Amino acid sequence: DGGITQSPKYLFRKEGQNVTLSCEQNLNHDAMYWYRQDPGQGLRLIYYSQIVNDFQKGDIAEGYSVSREKKESFPLTVTSAQKNPTAFYLCASSKEWGRTYEQYFGPGTRLTVT
Amino acid sequence: AQSVTQLDSHVSVSEGTPVLLRCNYSSSYSPSLFWYVQHPNKGLQLLLKYTSAATLVKGINGFEAEFKKSETSFHLTKPSAHMSDAAEYFCVVSVTTNAGGTSYGKLTFGQGTILTVHP
């Protein structure tokens, strides 16, 4: 079955540590995205990638980094510079980059930093 | 700039009664509009989308939405609620904007509406 996988489902880290969240898709989609979800705030865009080897900052990129070395993979690193890293992180992809293309979401990773 | 307002943070209905989740949008350009559903601790699933074709859009699980440009609304409805419909619903707008000469689509999410279905 085609889809998006995110691992792990739950992640716990100590403050000051960097952590990398995995996102893999087998939909052959060009565009990929990372969102952060906090209670009552909808989803906010962290980074997006229109195509392999390219990525752009979203609305809340500070304290995060990404890479897009392969079409199917778009890992997100939460660095120690991110002030409030505890959140639910969602990865998504779309066939192409444009307003008419719906995004397909992975199951999410819940990160807790103490 | 674009924005989305979901008019109710919580909606509660009885099983078998109609569902109405309200969404208003603001956009300077012709938008695409989507409704997504999210069950607890899960990713988002697309219910339906509007991309400037028919204004009444039918989606999965018996949901539909009507695009009303004059009212800038895209309300989600279902004639008869089922217990499995209990979830959080997001209205989303997407427009094509330009950044550095490259056109792209950006999604703007509403705050979400939690739907509770009582037996």
How confident is the model over B65-81, as pLDDT tens digits?
999 999 999 999 999 99
Q: Compute CA distances B23 → A19, B18, B47, B92, whole Å.
A: 36, 16, 14, 9
Using 50, 70 and 90 to split pLDDT, how confident is the model at B99?
Answer: low
Q: What is the pLDDT of residue B101?
A: 44
- Start-to-end C-alpha separation, chain A: 36
Confidence of residue B102 (pLDDT cuts 50, 70, 90): very low
Q: Is the pLDDT of residue A22 over 50?
A: yes
pLDDT above 60: residue A6: yes
Q: What is the pLDDT of residue B94?
A: 85
What's the confidence (pLDDT) of residue B75?
98
| B94 contacts A99? CB cut-off 8 A | yes
Residue of B34, B49, B104 lying closest to A97 (CB–CB): B104
pLDDT of B89 above 70: yes
- Distance from the Cα of B34 to chain A's closest Cα (Å) equals 8
Q: Provide the shortest C-alpha distance from residue A80 to chain B (in Å).
A: 25
pLDDT given at position A27: 94
Which one-letter amino acid corresponds to residue B10?
H
- Residue B61: phi, psi to the nearest 5? 60, 25
- Gap between the Cα atoms of A9 and A26, Å rounded: 19
**Confidence grade of residue B31 (pLDDT, cut at 50, 70, 90):** confident
Which chain B residues have a beta carbon less than 8 Å from that of A97? Answer: 104-105
Judged by average pLDDT, the poorest of A28-37, B53-62, B104-113 is: B104-113
Where b means 16+ CB within 10 Å and e means fewer, B88-107 reads bbbbbbbbbeeeeeeebbbb
What residue of B is the nearest CA neighbor of A98? B105
Q: Which of B49, B106, B111 to mutate to test the interface with A (most CBs of A within 10 A)?
A: B106
Report d(CA B21, CA B11) in Å as an integer. Answer: 8
Strand partners, B66: B56, B75
**What pLDDT shows up at residue A39?**
83
Which of A9, A20, A76 shows the shortest CA–CA distance to B41? A9
The DSSP code for B84 is G
